[in-house]
Amino acid sequence: MGEPLIYEICRAGRKAVHLPDVDVPESPLPQDALRGELPLPEVSEIDLVRHYTRLSQLNHSIDTGFYPLGSCTMKYNPKVNEYAARMAGLANLHPLQDMDSIQGAMALMHNLQEMLAEIAGFAAVTLQPAAGAHGELTGVLIMRKYLYEKGETQRDVIIVPDSAHGTNPATTSMSGLKVVECPSAADGNVDLAALKALIAKHGDRLVGLMLTNPNTLGLFDENVAEVLQLVHEAGGLVYGDGANFNAILGIAKPGALGFDVMHYNLHKTFSTPHGGGGPGSGAVGVAAHLAEYLPGPIVARDEDGYFRWEMPAKSIGRVKAFWGNFGILVRAYTYIRMHGAAGLRAISENAVLNANYIQARLRGVYPIPHGDRTCMHEFVAQGKLDGAPTINTMDIAKRLMDYEFHPPTVYFPLIVPEAIMIEPTETESKETLDAFCDAMIQIAQEARETPELLKTAPHNSPVKRLDEVRAAKELQLCYAPGCS
């Protein structure tokens, strides 16, 4: 049996929190507005703590084991960052406090804006977007507004390579623009001929291109300069999806390559925790011509050193309340300051070396469509094995859990059938990488000799393999019977 639900462990009359009595004269309550039953749980503090502690133990996490989830950069999250974000002088600040009383926090944000701009080669940065996808929406709105204000209101098409993350086309559609897919070439780069044809076809309706580089195959597009040039010549702009920035810190600056706008995933590259699905931060950097369009307010610095909130002149507007996920910004700031320029480059060098090492060890064991190339921080293998016709990627993923590894990202990117996308990150040791490779090699052998082992996996996890299709049909969304 698993852990019971919180509503199943509650008993009428139990309390975990005791608040003081009212110490002011009471005022009459508006009787017509009072609610009846408030069906929340009633539990003691010890039961609450045990419940959530047991739940936590049902999770695989970075703190408990290797988590090579491609495209997600599951690197170690330093403990000092957690401490920093909880310091009273940084955490217990109201967002609308007078600027005089939060100059330290604003200095931190300003420094982070400048450091992020420098690292990626951009002129200006906003820290407001809350996640990568949110940064994408921001970037697309910036591109459109910039072109509209130039009078090019007919532009409504964005080209997205078929290797892109689903959030790219999703955010584009959300902003009201049309998505056109561009195929990848056999070598994993953008198919230049196809791109030229699309640009010719859509001509002056082109808003631009969304490009992930390194791309989701884990490859640095060798033709990136030419791709950018083609789009720019057609009057379009290029959006960079910075999800894979961990590969190129101090290796290349997207701004210098010619990207007009890019989001950073602070929760990937700059080690802020993923938190079971968030929060993150999708800070956005732009080249000089787009600086005035950033959402904000952002932090500006007066000549006398005073920090001030400032809305960029032609801003697309606010994309969330307040200034950004400050608690996440504190962690990212701490991380960057502790690394410095050489430390950041070492991150990418080691992330890329670790990925290439696994790729080298698994070459010949699993198909790796672009295994002849040097990969960046990740690579994509396939869960298709000769001599094991019934085995697929999901079976391999589930079997990896028996070896106490979190499976890599599976079935993404969509252009690789049975994709297994492996991103080790720089914070893993050679021993861990070897243990993972050994397990992958062992599983390939099991797939041929004892496929049942894979089909019935996982065997040691808190629950058996779940039928996600059934779960979707028998949608049980909540459970609130009240306490006995």
Ligand X SMILES: Cc1ncc(COP(=O)(O)O)c(C=O)c1O
Applying CB under 6 A, the residues found at the interface with ligand X are 71-72, 131-133, 165, 167, 212, 216, 241, 243, 265, 280, 282
Q: Which does 327 bind (CB under 5 to 8 A by kind): other proteins, ligand X, none?
A: other proteins
Contacts of 361 (CB under 8 A, 6+ apart): 433, 434, 437, 441
Question: Minimum Å distance from CB 107 to ligand X?
Answer: 26
How near is the Cβ of 139 to ligand X at its closest, in Å? 11
Q: Using CB distances below 5 to 8 A depending on partner kind, what does residue 70 bind out of other proteins, ligand X, none?
A: none
Please give the radius of gyration of the chain, using alpha carbons only, rounded to the nearest integer: 25
**Among residues 172 and 265, whose Cβ is nearest to ligand X?**
265
Report d(CA 114, CA 285) in Å as an integer.
Answer: 10
CB-wise, 51 or 263, nearer to ligand X?
263
User: Of 54 and 201, which has the nearer Cβ to other proteins?
Assistant: 54
| Contact criterion met (CB below 8 Å) for 161 and 179 | no
Record the tokens describing residue 41, joined without a space.
């749980």
Q: Report residue 413: phi and psi, to 5°.
A: -70, 155
To other proteins, the closest distance from the beta carbon of 366 in angstroms equals 16
Toward other proteins, which CB reaches closer, 109 or 159?
Answer: 109
Least distance from other proteins to the Cβ atom of residue 387, Å? 25
Read off the amino acid at residue 451. P
User: Which pair of tokens denotes residue 282?
Assistant: 């999708």
Residue facing ligand X at closest CB distance: 132
For residue 441, the partner it binds in ligand X, other proteins, none, with Cβ less than 5 to 8 A by kind, is none
Question: Closest separation between CB of residue 465 and other proteins, Å?
Answer: 6
- In 276-385 the beta strands, taken as DSSP E runs, fall at 284-286, 298-301, 307-310, 379-382
Alpha helices in 217-267 (DSSP H): 224-233, 254-257
- For the chain, the maximum distance between any two Cα atoms, rounded to a whole number of angstroms, is 80
Q: Which does 151 bind (CB under 5 to 8 A by kind): other proteins, ligand X, none?
A: none
Burial grade of 239 (CB within 10 A; 0-12, 13-18, 19 or more): buried
**Cβ(183)–Cβ(163) below 8 Å:** no
71 binds, among ligand X, other proteins, none (CB under 5 to 8 A by kind): ligand X
Nearer to other proteins, 308 or 320 (CB): 320
Q: Which does 139 bind (CB under 5 to 8 A by kind): ligand X, other proteins, none?
A: none
Q: What is the smallest separation between the CB atom of 448 and other proteins, expressed in angstroms?
A: 24
Distance between CA atoms of residues 190 and 182, nearest Å: 8
Report how far residue 120's alpha carbon sits from residue 242's, in angstroms, rounded to the nearest whole number.
10
| Residue of 61, 60, 134, 67 lying closest to 378 (CA atoms) | 67
Nearer to ligand X, 195 or 243 (CB): 243
**Shortest reach from residue 252's CB to ligand X, in Å:** 17
Based on CB atoms, which residue is closest to ligand X, 280 or 458?
A: 280
Closer Cβ to other proteins, 199 or 379, answer by number: 379
CB of 133 or CB of 344, closer to ligand X: 133
Min dist. Cβ of residue 248 to other proteins (A): 7
The total of other beta-carbon atoms located within 10 Å of residue 333's CB is 23
Residue 165 touches which of ligand X, other proteins, none (Cβ within 5-8 Å per kind): ligand X
CB of 11 to other proteins, least distance (A): 11
In the numeric block, which tokens belong to residue 233?
Answer: 């010549």
Beta strands in 243-294 (DSSP E): 261-264, 284-286
The entry of other proteins, ligand X, none that residue 346 binds, CB within 5 to 8 Å by partner kind: other proteins
Q: Which does 123 bind (CB under 5 to 8 A by kind): other proteins, ligand X, none?
A: none
The residue type found at 369 is: P
